[in-house]
Amino acid sequence: MNLITKRIKGTQDLLPDKSDKFEYVESVLKNQAKLYGFRLVRTPVIEHTVLFERSVGENSDVVSKEMYTFLDKSGRSVTLRPEGTAGTLRAILENGLHNNLPVKVMYITSCYRYEKPQNSRYREFFQFGVETFGSKSCLADSEIIFLVYSIFKKLKVQNLKLEINSLGCSECKKKFNNDMKKYLEKNFDNFCGICKERMYRNPMRVFDCKNENCKKNLKNAPIVLDYLCLRCKNHFDDLKKILDLEKVNYIVNPRIVRGLDYYTKTVFEFIDNKSEITVCGGGRYDNLSEEIGGPDLPSVGFGLGIERLLSLVKDYDLEIYPKVYISIIGEKARFKAVELAENFRNNNISTEIDILNNSLKSQVKYADKAKAKYCLFLGDRELENNFVKFRNMVSGEEKEIDMNNILNYVK
């Protein structure tokens, strides 16, 4: 085969084999979130570019080099969403939902980032996320962490670790960044080029560098947690207390800072022990609403990578098999078979029928592969005497059933 074109780099075709699993996981995500009181929102894939510049942060890698941004026909700069939070918050504010607090919403959407694809990393990927708006309380933080936990439990995903940290409010962040900058400047020559740039734009992010040398030089660097004001410290301590009470295991890692600029106070990541890949990341973003022109609206949420989650889900249960297969023997039976099939389907019985004009043998073979429960045979003999031959595909048992009674039989 020589197609004129293939799928776009970093995108995936979701074929029936995998889509069953996708549907299953999606239903678990939605059901668990509903248990916690989150309701679904859908926002457009496409937003004005400025929304992401302001929220995710112009200096972040996501905005500065990974966005699908283009001018539409009227010359407006628009962007395919690179994450779910900004659009969700925009929609909440624009539609005035923040007048009834708290607002708890979830979303499952595709996101787009123009980067080089690799393991568990795509240009089009699916994100599940929840956001709680209007609560300063660490109960809101713990609630979403419990939700993630319950999802993994339900899906039987194990070997994940939870790392948490607190970045503090804007005051704490500012003080820390100042000292961090001083520290980095003192050791300026010991850091790699990227870090050197970062120390001026967003010093905290130097912690994300994986360069061994840089890591070494960070050993005596200031620690965010030492800079928390009393309120932030209490918030973080309370969160830990609640997690302890519910026996949720976590590691405090003062080095996780996250790449999206909007995070404040609590941040957390669920990391797969084997691959070290972050499956779920989130935290608090109390200033984001004001950043995009909204009121003071404390918020907390997370994003969870569906593809990454799918690769961790081993077994799942989803009945998708047709119940009945109708095999057709000879020309005359075709119309009767169609009539029967439609009758079954109208009665909520999933039914398949030969549409390839295949031999009877391959028809039954197909029924077997499709895992149909029953196979019906319709040929001249049956038509003449007004019955249907009925075969139980599991036991192999066969019966002749009166045509007028067949519906009750397959039910």
Contact residues: RNA, CB under 7 A: 1-2, 6-10, 60-62, 66, 83, 113, 115-122, 125, 127, 194, 205, 208-211, 258-260, 269, 277-281, 303-305, 307-308, 329, 356, 358-362, 364-369, 375, 377-382, 389, 391, 393-394, 396, 398
Identity (one letter) of the amino acid at 278? T
Is 262 annotated in a binding site? The answer is yes
> Could you tell me the smallest distance in angstroms from the CB atom of residue 410 to RNA?
16
| Neighbour tally for 93: CB within 10 Å | 18
Is 83 annotated in a binding site? The answer is yes
Would strands 124-133 and 299-305 be described as parallel, antiparallel, or unpaired?
Answer: antiparallel
Q: Which is nearer to RNA, 241 or 321 (CB)?
A: 321
> Could you tell me the smallest distance in angstroms from the CB atom of residue 376 to RNA?
9
Q: Which is nearer to RNA, 244 or 327 (CB)?
A: 327
Assigned token pair, 278: 């972050």
User: How far is CA 160 from each of CA 54, 104, 278, 410, rounded to the nearest angstrom?
Assistant: 32, 26, 9, 45
Q: Which is nearer to RNA, 209 or 221 (CB)?
A: 209
> Could you tell me the smallest distance in angstroms from the CB atom of residue 257 to RNA?
8
Is 342 annotated in a binding site? The answer is no
Is 131 annotated in a binding site? The answer is yes
For the chain, first and last CA: distance in Å? 44
Distance from C-alpha of 173 to C-alpha of 253, rounded to nearest angstrom: 16
Q: In terms of DSSP H, where are the helices of 218-332? A: 230-245, 288-291, 306-312
User: What is the spatial order of strands in the sheet that 46-48 belongs to?
Assistant: 46-48, 77-80, 68-71
Q: Which is nearer to RNA, 233 or 409 (CB)?
A: 409
Q: Find residue 271's DSSP bridge partners.
A: 161, 278
CB 267 within 8 A of CB 141: no
Q: Which is nearer to RNA, 62 or 140 (CB)?
A: 62
Is 127 annotated in a binding site? The answer is yes
**Main-chain dihedrals φ then ψ at residue 260, nearest 5 degrees:** -90, 130
Is 85 annotated in a binding site? The answer is yes
Q: Which is nearer to RNA, 5 or 100 (CB)?
A: 5
> Could you tell me the smallest distance in angstroms from the CB atom of residue 99 to RNA?
28
> Could you tell me the smallest distance in angstroms from the CB atom of residue 207 to RNA?
9
User: What is the spatial order of strands in the sheet that 324-328 belongs to?
Assistant: 351-353, 324-328, 374-378, 387-392, 398-402
> Could you tell me the smallest distance in angstroms from the CB atom of residue 231 to RNA?
25
Show binding-site residues for L-histidine: 83-85, 113, 127, 131, 258, 262-263
